[in-house]
Amino acid sequence: MNRNDRKKIVVYAQEIGGGNIVALVVQDLLALNLYKLEVVIHRHAEESFKGMKIPYRFLNDFGYDLPLSEIDAMDMLKSFNADYLFGAIGNVTLDKSNGNLFAAARKMNIKSLAAFDCWQGWDRFHDGKIRFVYAPDILVVIDEYSKKRMTNEGLDQNRIAVGGHPVLDKTRESFAEDITETEKSTLRERYGIGGQDCLVVLASQMINYKVEQKTRRIPFYAIETPEGKIIDRVLRALEDINKKLDDKSAVLILRLHAKEDTAKGLSCTKSTVRVVVDKSISRFDLYRMADCIIGYDTMMLAEAVNAGCMVISLQFHGINHTFERNLVELAGGEIFTAENENDLIRILLDNQFYRKQQKKADMFSPYDTTKKKPSYTDILCREFPV
């Protein structure tokens, strides 16, 4: 095949979750060298591509107003002379850029395929008036549960393919061997965290939170509940734990979401617990150095448990957010649930913060690995003729 005759795929990633899958697939596509690729990303997805050294351009470098309108999306796809569109559909509450790209592709008869990286947000393809206006021609989901859930939502099953979850696969492969104490200590030393310290990572996320009948996006750690902000409640629990530990103390790393530029709402100055806020630490390094990963319903919990970490889902009362328990049920491995501070303290002390390293053979997948299924790359190459 003449290199100049190859079909062009425009790749777009808007958020870190979907971006992690898209980047892995792009890595495979670059190795295959069957298509011309034009990779465009939102700054929130930069970590995924930068870490893999995949060439990309930012969406806001093209001179369009953001969020990208459907008209501008059509103009961009036309300027690229796109044959196909590949990406991931993220939450469109704040930024409809990715949704409008897929809507534009449909109107231009540009075949599209998108990754669905989690077990929630089934309605993200609707705009409030038209159902599936943002849906791709082919949606690749994690497992049969996700396929059934999307068909129940009303999407034609012929437009749904099951492709697993490449990021969770990579996580299990990367953590198949035990983490050595030397590796763990070396990572901790970068942040002045001792080897005997009890290191807890709070994985934040932007969630749709209802305030006085209105919905707005807010960082999970900053949510106000009747008992105080989530971050303050966690710190108070760790303070209580410190009183019961003789030879070590708790340290908290607040892992900000990619959409959280600064730690707004962080009120921990009065806490005796040391807090580290650093969004630049890689997720895998966090899994290697932490004793426990805690959070709400973020896919980081699913990754962490597949890395063999001790994981706690904070289901504190007072969080006015609808969430499906399937994340906990389908993530693979064991995820504890803490409904209040006492639960959090009990779970941490009962397990003494020690990493529960799960052997690969003892873990179960979030989808049935006994059934042979095509990979994301297989599906893309099948749907996008060269």
Count Cβ atoms below 10 Å from residue 80 Cβ, excluding itself. 17
- Give the model confidence (pLDDT) of 277-293 as tens digits: 988 889 999 999 999 99
Confidence of residue 335 (pLDDT cuts 50, 70, 90): confident
CA distance 343 to 129: 42
SS in 3 state form for the chain?
CCHHHCCEEEEEECCHHHHHHHHHHHHHHHHHCCCEEEEEECHHHHHHHHHCCCCCEEHHHHCCCCCCCHHHHHHHHHHHCCCEEEEECCCCCCCCHHHHHHHHHHHCCCEEEEECCCCCCCCCCCCCCCCCCCCCCEEEECCHHHHHHHHHHCCCHHHEEECCCHHHHHHHHHCCCCCCHHHHHHHHHCCCCCCCCEEEEEECCEEEEEECCEEEEEEHHHCEECCEEHHHHHHHHHHHHHHHCCCCCEEEEEECCCCCCCCCCCCCCCCCCEEEECCCCCHHHHHHHCCEEEECCCHHHHHHHHCCCCEEEECCCCCCCCCCCHHHHHCCCCCEEECCHHHHHHHHHHHCCCCCCCCHHHCCCCCCCCCCCCCHHHHHHHHCCC
Average pLDDT along the chain: 87
State the pTM of this model: 0.89
Tell me the mean pLDDT in the region 350-362.
51
Return the higher-pLDDT residue of 312 and 333: 312
Exposed/middle/buried for residue 159 (C-beta within 10 Å: 0-12, 13-18, 19+): middle
Residue 359 confidence (pLDDT):
41
Residue range 83-89: mean pLDDT, rounded: 95
Sheet containing 250-255: order of strands: 274-277, 250-255, 198-203, 292-295, 311-314, 336-338
pLDDT reported for residue 328: 64
Percent with pLDDT over 70 in the chain? 87
Q: Read off the tokens for 369.
A: 């690995």
Exposed, middle or buried by CB within 10 Å (0-12, 13-18, 19+), for 333? Answer: buried
Residue-wise pLDDT for 157-172, tens only, equals 999 999 999 999 999 9
pLDDT at 8: 98
- Fold of the 3-165+370-383 domain: Rossmann fold (3.40.50)
Of the ranges 87-91, 116-120, 366-370, which one carries the lowest mean pLDDT score?
366-370
CA distance 73 to 80: 11
Which carries the bigger pLDDT value, residue 352 or residue 334? 334
CB 305 within 8 A of CB 334: yes
Q: What local confidence, expressed as pLDDT, does residue 330 receive?
A: 72
pLDDT per residue over 174-201, tens digit each? 998 888 889 999 999 988 898 888 999 9
pLDDT (0 to 100) of residue 153: 92
Contacts (Cβ under 8 Å, ≥6 apart) of 91: 15, 121, 124, 206, 208, 217
Mean pLDDT of 131-150: 94
Give the pLDDT of residue 323. Answer: 62
Residue 258's pLDDT is what?
84
Omega prior to 67 cis, within 30 of 0? yes
Name the band, by pLDDT with cuts 50, 70 and 90, for residue 357. very low
- Output 203 or 319, whichever has higher pLDDT: 203
Residue 367 has pLDDT above 60, yes or no: no
Q: Where are the domains of the chain?
A: 3-165+370-383, 179-357
- Assess whether pLDDT exceeds 60 at residue 31: yes
Q: At what angle do helices 16-32 and 166-174 cross, to 10 degrees?
A: 80
Check residue 319 and give its pLDDT: 78
Assign domain 179-357 to its CATH architecture. Answer: 3-Layer(aba) Sandwich (3.40)
Q: Each residue of 214-262: pLDDT tens digit?
A: 667 788 998 888 999 999 999 999 999 998 877 778 999 999 988 887 7
Residue 361 pLDDT class (50, 70, 90 cuts): very low
More confident residue, 179 or 345: 345
* Fold agreement (3-165+370-383, 179-357): yes
